[in-house]
């Protein structure tokens, strides 16, 4: 299988998902298996990106093309994958191009106009708290998905003192949640524990297996697989921060003002995907397994149960949840003195309209 460095841009016109299953190779995890998918690779100003999109068709010319960046190929993105696979975005007049961009870099792409929407919910909240013109308009999962997974010899968070912990990017949700877990256990990031950027989820799993890092936050199904190999779960991020999203829709205020109909269409399609997952277990599990390249039915069952327990039911949240997410972000970022009202960070009016 080719590595990230050797792959060349290619457009796939057929309606099929290209590549092999979930493996320790990054490319494998990006591609998955199953019918009904197409993929296109392209270059992006920041890095080589992977475009996960349904292949070209005559209908595409009649649809509005939008770009949606995701921070990882993970269970948090399931509603968006279902919406794409089932044609819910097309029903709303959109041809959605899904692009993989890591953490905070996705916010740069969003604010710079290189993409229209971003699934990096944590980074969107952080950007809005800093005063950048971004809003979170949809929540895919109301709780964090991450487990803090460690080497077999490490039994607690305190055992990480003097060790190296991997993160995906500086300033992203994984970085912020890692800092919080360490702080709650009496450790300070980059003082008691060294954090290093190792890349995406598959890069992180490889670094853990190789012994390069002692621990890292990982999203399912990776922890489920690693536990079978002897690695330990030393913390669940949701126990430290229950009011924090995994996956969502971040959008600029300019887009909301200048093209609210497009925002509503994208939220509608995503909400359909979220609702489908809760109402159609068997087919949703199949889409999930193909998307993540899962071959083990038991792992698929465990993963889907986790997803159902952590997902957002409505795609929005109440004021208490919003304030909790903002408070966590302010503490993690530091330097933010003033009180941040939820209206500066969230706009769930599109959810209300989509549900009518």
Report how far residue 107's alpha carbon sits from residue 71's, in angstroms, rounded to the nearest whole number. 10
pLDDT at 21 over 90: no
Strands (E), the chain: 39-43, 48-52, 64-70, 94-100, 117-118, 134-141, 147-150, 164-167, 194-197, 215-218, 232-236, 246-252
Reported as a single tens digit per residue, the pLDDT across 215-234 is 999 988 889 999 999 999 99
How far CA 336 is from CA of 125, 129, 241, in Å, comes to 13, 8, 19
Say how many Å lie between the first and final Cα of the chain, rounded: 47
Domain boundaries, the chain: 26-143+244-354, 147-240
The reported pLDDT for the residue numbered 60 is 56
The reported pLDDT for the residue numbered 165 is 97
**Phi/psi of residue 318, each to 5°?**
-85, 175
Reported as a single tens digit per residue, the pLDDT across 115-138 is 999 999 988 998 999 999 999 999
3-state DSSP assignment of residue 265: helix
Q: Tell me which of 38 and 278 has the higher pLDDT.
A: 278
The CA radius of gyration of the chain, in Å to the nearest whole number, is: 19
Least confident residue range of 20-24, 102-106, 152-156, 282-286? 20-24
The reported pLDDT for the residue numbered 38 is 30
Mean pLDDT value of segment 78-107: 92
- In terms of CATH architecture, what is 26-143+244-354? 3-Layer(aba) Sandwich (3.40)
Report how far residue 195's alpha carbon sits from residue 180's, in angstroms, rounded to the nearest whole number. 13
Mean pLDDT value of segment 81-106: 92
Reported as a single tens digit per residue, the pLDDT across 53-65 is 444 455 555 899 9
pLDDT at 103 over 90: no
Q: Which CATH number fits domain 147-240: 3.40.190.10, 3.40.50.300, 2.60.40.10, 3.40.50.1820?
A: 3.40.190.10
Same fold, 26-143+244-354 and 147-240: yes
């Amino acid at each position: 299988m080719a590595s990230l460095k050797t792959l060349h841009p290619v457009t796939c016109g057929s309606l099929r998902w290209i590549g092999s299953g979930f493996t320790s190779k990054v490319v494998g995890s990006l591609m998955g298996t199953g019918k009904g998918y197409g993929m296109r690779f392209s270059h992006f100003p920041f890095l080589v990106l992977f475009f996960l999109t349904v292949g070209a068709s005559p209908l595409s010319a009649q649809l509005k093309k939008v770009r949606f960046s995701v921070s990882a190929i993970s269970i948090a993105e399931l509603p968006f994958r279902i919406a794409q696979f089932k044609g819910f975005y097309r029903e709303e007049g959109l041809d959605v191009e899904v692009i993989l961009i890591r953490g905070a870099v996705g916010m740069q792409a969003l604010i710079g106009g290189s993409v229209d929407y971003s699934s990096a919910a944590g980074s969107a909240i952080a950007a809005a708290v800093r005063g950048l013109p971004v809003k979170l308009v949809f929540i895919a999962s109301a709780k964090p998905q991450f487990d803090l997974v460690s080497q077999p010899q490490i039994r607690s968070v305190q055992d990480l003192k003097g060790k190296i912990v991997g993160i995906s990017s500086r300033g992203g949700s994984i970085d912020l949640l890692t800092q919080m877990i360490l702080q709650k256990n009496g450790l300070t990031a980059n003082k008691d524990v060294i954090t290093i950027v190792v890349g995406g989820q598959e890069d992180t799993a490889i670094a853990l297996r190789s012994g390069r890092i002692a621990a890292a936050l990982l999203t399912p199904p990776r922890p489920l697989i690693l536990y079978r190999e002897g690695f330990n779960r030393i913390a669940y991020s949701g126990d430290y921060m229950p009011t924090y999203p995994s996956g969502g829709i971040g959008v600029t205020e300019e887009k909301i003002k200048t093209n609210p109909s497009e925002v509503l269409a994208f939220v509608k399609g995503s909400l359909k995907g979220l609702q489908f997952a809760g109402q159609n277990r068997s087919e949703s599990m199949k889409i999930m397994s193909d998307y993540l390249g899962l071959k083990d039915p038991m792992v698929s069952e465990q993963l889907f149960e986790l997803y159902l327990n952590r997902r957002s039911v409505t795609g929005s949240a109440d004021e208490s949840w919003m304030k909790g997410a903002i408070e966590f972000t302010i503490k993690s970022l530091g330097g933010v003195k003033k009180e941040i009202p939820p209206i500066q960070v969230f706009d769930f009016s599109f959810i209300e309209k989509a549900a009518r």
